[in-house]
Structure 1
Amino acid sequence: MSIERIHSTDRMSRIVKHNGTVYLCGQTAGQAEWDIAEQTRQCLAKIDALLSEAGSDKESLLSVTIYIRDMKDFAAMNAVWDAWVAELPKPARACVEARMARPEILVEMSVIAALA
């Protein structure tokens, strides 16, 4: 059984590849001056880049878990998300309200995708 870990630290790996599947750690974009829409765009850009590095892409998404600091931002986050997945096969998705590691983080996304 082969497991490839990419961009590993003492705490985690940003990308893990195993058995034709890519796992991304939670992606955030917590700049205090960015609203939920911009943080969502930045998270999705990071996801695009990491999937590409791993040999996958957003068309191969299997599951996305979205953590949002406050559900009042749900509609604004979804507007960006919906545009990003508009022409794609839709992954399984969950969205939950959660306390974040830092107060400026409004959204975090954890991704599982198939290798392209």
Structure 2
Amino acid sequence: MKALVVACLLAGTVSSLPVVAADSPNPRNGERSMLSRMNYPTLPEPAGPYSVSVRHNGTLYLSGITAFGTPAQGKDIATQAEAIFSQIQRVTQAEGIGMRNLIKVTVFVTSMDDIGSLRAVLSKHYEGSYPASSLIKVAGLFSPDVNIEIEAVFAVPL
């Protein structure tokens, strides 16, 4: 994972990518499916060649979101988690869905020392609709000012 992040950083900042939609056949049943890749003007631009989200049929996949480029960069894990959920909320608003549509989160942290405050932030933002979840401790993320990264998967009405 670290090598991929480093490769993305070495590639340089990608300018705002346009929404790309591709209508492609489903190889299993021949049906057409919609695939779209999005970046959002209300979020920091991706630091590499990736999209903030990819939508396929009824599922929205969010790339790992951090507090990098926000006022929470370099702050404690709870503050960074709040900044991340602020960004996720902007995505859900743009997509016309809410946190109740959250299916799965993967949370990467560099320290398990303050997990209690992280869980409080997560619980607040889940609004009682708890997703499937994984919590993974990593040696580091792409910047020493970032101590949490969250990936998310949402159900989206077709």
| TM above 0.5 | yes
Kindly indicate whether residue 155 of structure 2 is the aligned counterpart of residue 114 of structure 1: yes
User: Is contact 1:15–1:54 with CA below 8 Å preserved after alignment?
Assistant: no
Deviation at residue 73 of structure 1 after TM alignment = 2.0
CA deviation vs aligned residue, 1:3-26 (integer Å, no higher than 9, x gap): 011129661110111111111111
Of the structure 1 ranges 1-10 and 64-73, higher mean CA displacement relative to structure 2 is found in 1-10
Q: In structure 1, what residue type is equivalent to 2:128?
A: L
User: Is contact 1:68–1:74 with CA below 8 Å preserved after alignment?
Assistant: no
Unaligned runs of 5+ in 1: none
Considering fraction of residues, name the structure with more strand.
1
Among 49, 52, 64, the alignment partner of 1:11 is 49
Q: What is the CA RMSD across the aligned residues, in angstroms?
A: 1.7
Deviation at residue 93 of structure 1 after TM alignment = 0.4
Q: In structure 1, what residue type is equivalent to 2:59?
A: T
Q: TM-score, normalised by structure 2?
A: 0.67
Bigger Rg over Cα: 2
Give 4+ residue runs of structure 1 displaced > 4 Å after superposition.
Answer: none
Query: What residue number does 2:134 align with?
Result: 94
Among 26, 36, 44, the alignment partner of 2:64 is 26
Deviation at residue 45 of structure 1 after TM alignment = 0.8
Deviation at residue 88 of structure 1 after TM alignment = 2.7
Q: In structure 1, what residue type is equivalent to 2:151?
A: S
Q: TM-score, normalised by structure 1?
A: 0.89
Considering fraction of residues, name the structure with more helix.
1
Deviation at residue 58 of structure 1 after TM alignment = 0.8
Kindly indicate whether residue 97 of structure 2 is the aligned counterpart of residue 56 of structure 1: yes
